[in-house]
Amino acid sequence: NEGALWGGRFSGGPADALAALSKSTDFDWRLARYDIAGSRAHARVLRTAGLLTAEELDGMLAALDRLEEDVVSGAYTAAESDEDVHGSLERGLIERAGPELGGKLRAGRSRNDQIATMGRMYLRDHARLVARGVLATIDALIAQAEAHPYAPMPGRTHLQHAQPVLLSHHLLAHAWPLLRDVQRLADFDRRAAVSPYGSGALAGSSLGLDPEAVAAELGFDSAVWNSIDGTAARDVYAEFAWVASMIGVDLSRVSEEVIFWATKEAGFVTLDDAFSTGSSIMPQKKNPDVAELARGKSGRLIGDLAGLLATLKGLPLAYNRDLQEDKEPVFDAADTLELLLPAVSGMIATLTFHTERMAELAPQGFALATDIAEWLVRQGVPFRVAHELSGECVQAAEKRGVELWDLTDEEFASVSEHLTPQVRQVLSTEGSLSSRDAQGGTAPSAVAAQIAALKEAVDEVRPF
């Protein structure tokens, strides 16, 4: 059983079935360069602790450099007999540094603290990649909002026409949650910036190693205060998976709207050819596959989170082999978003909005009824009464098959003496929109202020 990481107390090697079950190189190989970075840092603290001579450290670092080159070039890969990335890279190191020197690196560390650290390093890097993709999506939404500063559209609740809103206001309502997602990634990163290296198998090291030095070399803010927590906890991974799921859900929400907007019935948008697909049988088809894949992949991201949480539930301290199952869900979550985000941001950036159709529909379906009620309130009518009166106007219009602005002065007057012809001031989309000018409202002036505030918040989190 050459190359195995243990053997002393065993009289035989593992069964083939166990070896096959145990093996994780298929998915943990992507941590190889992080593992080598950890080995360099570990070699340095072994030197500081007097456990390697200066020459040995030089030899070790040179061998690790060669190993990394070979890993990057593909000259060195996991062997069939390697169980995991850590064991394989120890084999590779021994091949390059010799068994005497190569065999010294494992002192004071365990695959348990290695894997916990490598996972955090990987997720911190990928949190930044994902954040960049989310920021590109936010930028695309802002660009579309700025390209359509005055275009109205029907605002809906329960998918029913509710009140007119600006298209820009609606688009930005998808940008804010995505901004919070980027902030969540940055916040996740603060908790992930604590290194478990030096925790050993679970109890820490007796060899006088300096976990803070390793943490600093690997780009962490600090080392863990509890070696059991450091090796056994995966809440930080679960947090990444949760934020990834939330991003998936937020992308799915905007995608669902694009799918609807692109229908013949809505007719609000045309998808760019580069971000839509055709049909193998129906020559006329132009399908919103990007949006549908976003909607579909959000389910997959939620599955990654749910699977990981189910793995973690009920695990006693400290390390348990169940934890080998922690990696595929978070790797899949990062892969999924890194694939999806450029497509979604591209789709949004290239949408053509049919603003005339949206404007025409914006006030329809009695969407100005609230404006009548609020106008009455400004004339001193209690809202409860105003609501009733406006409702009666809706009923009158509905009976005649017309919209509110088609009612005659006489019809308004017969509903209430308060409904003078002046009510027509608010019976237009523009009047309705511009009246909602407080912070957060849909008036063009309020939306302009909103864009400035959003851009400031985006710039604050962008460098993350």
Report the interface residues with ligand ARG, using CB under 6 A: 24, 28, 84, 111-112, 115, 319, 321, 323-324
Nearer to ligand ARG by Cβ, of 112 and 298: the residue is: 112
Q: How far is the CB of 201 from ligand ARG (least distance, A)?
A: 7
Catalytic annotation present for 199 = no
Start-to-end CA distance of the chain, whole Å, equals 46
Helices (DSSP H) in 103-209: which residue ranges? 111-147, 167-192
Nearer to ligand ARG by Cβ, of 190 and 321: the residue is: 321
Q: What is the largest CA-CA distance in the chain?
A: 102
Q: How far is the CB of 124 from ligand ARG (least distance, A)?
A: 18
Of the candidates 228, 203, 225, 229, which has an alpha carbon nearest to the alpha carbon of residue 215?
A: 225
Catalytic annotation present for 418 = no
Q: How far is the CB of 318 from ligand ARG (least distance, A)?
A: 10
Half-sphere exposure of 23 (CA within 13 A, CB side): 15
| 232 and 317 Cβ atoms separated by less than 8 Å | yes
Nearer to ligand ARG by Cβ, of 237 and 353: the residue is: 237
Who's near 71: CB < 8 A, 6+ residues apart?
Answer: 32, 33, 36, 77, 89, 92
Nearer to ligand ARG by Cβ, of 20 and 282: the residue is: 20
d(CA 404, CA 423): 11
Structure tokens at 393: 């106007």
Strands 352-353 and 269-270: antiparallel
d(CA 444, CA 435): 10
Q: How far is the CB of 162 from ligand ARG (least distance, A)?
A: 51
Who's near 420: CB < 8 A, 6+ residues apart?
Answer: 412, 413
Nearer to ligand ARG by Cβ, of 2 and 26: the residue is: 26
Omega of the bond leading into 116 within 30 degrees of 0 (cis):
no
As separate numbers, helices (DSSP H) first and strands (DSSP E) second, the chain gives 18, 6
- 3-state secondary structure (DSSP) of residue 379: coil
Nearer to ligand ARG by Cβ, of 9 and 190: the residue is: 9
Which residue among 279, 280, 390, 418 is the active-site one?
279
Q: How far is the CB of 325 from ligand ARG (least distance, A)?
A: 8
Nearer to ligand ARG by Cβ, of 113 and 181: the residue is: 113
Q: How far is the CB of 188 from ligand ARG (least distance, A)?
A: 21
Shortest Cβ contact with ligand ARG: which residue? 111
- Distance of alpha carbon 117 from its chain centroid, rounded? 22
d(CA 230, CA 226): 6
d(CA 289, CA 210): 52
Q: How far is the CB of 324 from ligand ARG (least distance, A)?
A: 4
Q: How far is the CB of 80 from ligand ARG (least distance, A)?
A: 16
Which residue among 39, 81, 88, 158 is the active-site one?
158
Q: How far is the CB of 113 from ligand ARG (least distance, A)?
A: 10
What is the number of other CB atoms lying within 10 angstroms of the CB of residue 394? 17
Measure the CA angle with vertex 62, ends 58 and 67; round to 5°: 145
Residue type, 373: A
d(CA 36, CA 117): 12
- 3-state secondary structure (DSSP) of residue 375: helix
- 3-state secondary structure (DSSP) of residue 270: strand
Of the candidates 299, 263, 288, 296, which has an alpha carbon nearest to the alpha carbon of residue 347?
A: 288
d(CA 439, CA 292): 34
* Catalytically active residues, by annotation: 158, 279
